[in-house]
């Protein structure tokens, strides 16, 4: 992907007319000039380092050309895109290295340690929290360790219903390979088209079908990790009591402890049926209560849908206005819920969930609304590019908390965003991941870009994160820490938590070459 845009340019197109009208209504529109041809800094790696890297990988897998470096510059947060659009490519890696297998990764790390070169593991490049922007100071250079050649499906075990996948497999590729065996991961984050298995594990990704399939960290039963201290293998059983679960220390380690070179994941049978439908609730509070009922009762009675999402009043209004009018009169006002069922035979579960949602005051809007959601489920990042093209900053942030704190966290984050961005900001929210004890809250913000849109966003993000911490919510439910959330991590895990992370990092990566400045404060 290009550093200024998301995904396949063919899919991006101009702003859809309905959305454009809304944007003009709200903000006015001024097309922005995009600095596409910005120059890269000169590659800074000494020839001796490059020679050692080439000795490990061969010449063709150590790249210093502009295009290779440009495509691995930063991730896909809005500030990342804004900086690239402004011609700032200062975070470009000095080289891109492309190992072919686990042993290559181990050997590369030895070279990196020897020359004190920072190493940034790179999967799909879709980080939205600065996870690909390593600290450069004090290092002999920065290399992007692209896992794109590690794409094998190493093992399929249809008795245990597990698969061993290599980290460079992108979402669609992994699903296609599993589908050959009538299997699926069921992991569909918004970044699905580009993000990779390794990235899902390293960032504790959570997908749009998490209600049915679970978070990615819940799918992982085993890991192979290459570290500067050698190879680490974990995972002898689904669960055990052999001390702390160290798999959970690797999951979420964001390349700072090691490079994940294989994961053993739980897989399921491809669902024979999939149905998505819309529901309307009178208010976000009423919809949240309905979701909570399903999550708490559903865990034991099969009431849990595969997909369960609830937009607040603002997001519902924008969503309806920007789509052709499906659902008619019933779609006026209130809050839109998307409920999806996948499985071998979904009729019974669907009937039970329907009864529960009707009892909770919901009105069914039918499958057309569900199909519309399904069709657009990965499209938001493209829409963001189109909005940026017309000078509107769009960004997302998210959190999770226990059910009893949801109302105050929702109010506090909205207030923080409105307070810093002003009256013209649009703040939308939805719940997309539910648990028995709580749920996530995902905010989308749109605001006319000011003179310094990066700084404008930075201050809003800071206020929102402070509000989360103050309200006792997590700083991130599924976007990971990266560099953007790092200043708040100590508030989340305490000073002892930070010391523990540093101790683990020092043990596995004593010279600190792995993704320096990311995750560990």
Residue 384 marked in a binding site: yes
To the nearest whole angstrom, how small is the minimum distance from the Cβ of residue 79 to its own copies? 19
Q: Which is nearer to its own copies, 424 or 499 (CB)?
A: 499
Residue 154 marked in a binding site: no
Task: Spell 357-374 as b/e; 16+ CB within 10 A means b.
Answer: beebebbbbeeebbebbb
Q: Which is nearer to its own copies, 343 or 381 (CB)?
A: 343
To the nearest whole angstrom, how small is the minimum distance from the Cβ of residue 231 to its own copies? 8
How far apart are alpha carbons 394 and 379 in whole angstroms?
A: 14
Catalytic residues: 442
Residue 376 marked in a binding site: no
The beta-carbon contacts of 28-33 under 8 Å, at least 24 apart in sequence, are 28/448, 29/390, 29/391, 29/392, 30/390, 30/391, 31/389, 31/390, 31/391, 32/85, 32/388, 32/389, 32/390, 32/391, 32/449
Give the SS3 label for residue 198.
helix
Nearest Cα residue to 278 out of 212, 334, 339, 342: 339
Residue 254 marked in a binding site: yes
Using alpha carbons, list the distances in angstroms from residue 305 to 308, 334, 346, 348: 6, 21, 9, 11
CB neighbours (10 Å) of residue 143? 31
To the nearest whole angstrom, how small is the minimum distance from the Cβ of residue 510 to its own copies? 10
Handedness of CA 350, 355, 357, 362 (dihedral sign): positive
Residue 212 burial class via C-beta count within 10 angstroms: exposed 0-12, middle 13-18, buried 19 and up:
buried
To the nearest whole angstrom, how small is the minimum distance from the Cβ of residue 107 to its own copies? 17
To the nearest whole angstrom, how small is the minimum distance from the Cβ of residue 175 to its own copies? 17
Q: Which is nearer to its own copies, 447 or 468 (CB)?
A: 468
Q: Pull the structure tokens for residue 56.
A: 């490990």
Q: Which is nearer to its own copies, 112 or 251 (CB)?
A: 251
Q: Which is nearer to its own copies, 1 or 520 (CB)?
A: 520
Residue 206 marked in a binding site: yes
Nearest Cα residue to 428 out of 416, 415, 445: 445
Q: Pull the structure tokens for residue 257.
A: 């402890």
Residue 378 marked in a binding site: no
Nearest Cα residue to 489 out of 460, 468, 510, 458: 468
Q: Which is nearer to its own copies, 288 or 316 (CB)?
A: 288
Residue 205 marked in a binding site: yes
To the nearest whole angstrom, how small is the minimum distance from the Cβ of residue 13 to its own copies? 31
* Residues of the binding site: 121-127, 203-206, 254-260, 384
* Residues of the binding site for FAD: 121-127, 203-206, 254-260
* Residues of the binding site for substrate: 384
């Amino acid at each position: 992907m290009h550093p200024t845009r998301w995904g396949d340019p063919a899919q991006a197109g101009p702003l859809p007319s309905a959305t454009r009208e809304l944007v003009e209504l709200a903000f006015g529109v001024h097309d922005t000039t995009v600095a596409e041809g910005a120059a890269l800094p000169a590659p800074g790696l000494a020839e001796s380092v490059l020679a050692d890297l080439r000795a490990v990988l061969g010449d063709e897998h150590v790249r210093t050309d502009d295009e290779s470096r440009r495509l691995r510059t930063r991730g896909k947060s809005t500030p990342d895109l804004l900086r690239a659009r402004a011609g700032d490519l200062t975070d470009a890696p000095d080289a891109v290295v492309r190992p072919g297998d686990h042993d290559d990764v181990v050997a590369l790390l030895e070279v990196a340690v020897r020359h004190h070169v920072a190493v940034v593991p790179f999967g799909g490049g879709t980080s939205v929290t600065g996870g690909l922007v390593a600290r450069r100071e004090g290092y002999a250079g920065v290399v992007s360790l692209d896992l794109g050649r590690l794409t094998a499906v190493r093992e399929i075990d249809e008795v245990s219903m597990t698969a061993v996948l290599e980290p460079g497999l992108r979402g669609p590729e992994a699903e296609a390979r599993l589908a050959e065996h009538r299997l699926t991961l069921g992991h569909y984050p918004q970044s699905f088209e580009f993000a990779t298995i390794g990235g899902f594990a390293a960032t504790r990704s959570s997908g749009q079908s998490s209600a049915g399939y679970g978070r990615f960290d819940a799918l992982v039963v085993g890991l192979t990790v290459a570290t500067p201290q050698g190879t680490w293998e974990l995972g002898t059983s689904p669960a055990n009591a052999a001390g702390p679960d160290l798999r959970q220390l690797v999951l979420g380690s964001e390349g700072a402890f090691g490079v994940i070179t294989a994961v053993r994941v739980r897989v399921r049978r491809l669902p024979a049926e999939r149905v998505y439908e819309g529901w309307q609730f009178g208010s976000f509070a009423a919809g949240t209560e309905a979701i909570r009922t399903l999550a708490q009762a559903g865990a034991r009675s099969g009431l849990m849908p595969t997909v369960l999402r609830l937009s607040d009043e603002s997001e519902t209004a924008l969503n309806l206005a920007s789509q052709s009018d499906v659902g008619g009169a019933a779609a006026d006002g209130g809050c839109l819920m998307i409920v999806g069922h996948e499985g071998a035979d979904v009729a019974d579960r669907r009937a039970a969930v329907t009864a529960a949602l009707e009892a909770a005051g919901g009105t069914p809007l039918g499958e057309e609304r569900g199909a519309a959601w399904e069709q657009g489920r990965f499209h938001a990042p493209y829409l963001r590019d189109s909005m940026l093209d017309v000078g509107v900053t769009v960004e997302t942030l998210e959190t999770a908390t226990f059910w009893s704190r949801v109302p105050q966290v929702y109010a506090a984050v909205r207030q923080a965003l409105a307070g810093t961005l002003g009256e013209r900001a649009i703040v939308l929210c939805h719940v997309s991941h539910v648990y028995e004890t709580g749920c996530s809250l995902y905010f989308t913000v749109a605001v006319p870009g000011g003179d310094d849109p990066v700084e404008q966003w930075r201050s809003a993000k800071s206020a929102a994160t402070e509000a989360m911490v103050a309200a006792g919510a997590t700083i991130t439910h599924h976007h990971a820490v990266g560099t953007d959330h790092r200043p708040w991590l100590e508030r989340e895990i305490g000073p002892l938590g930070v010391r523990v992370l540093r101790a683990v990092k020092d043990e596995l990566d004593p010279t600190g070459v792995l993704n320096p400045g990311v995750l560990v404060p």
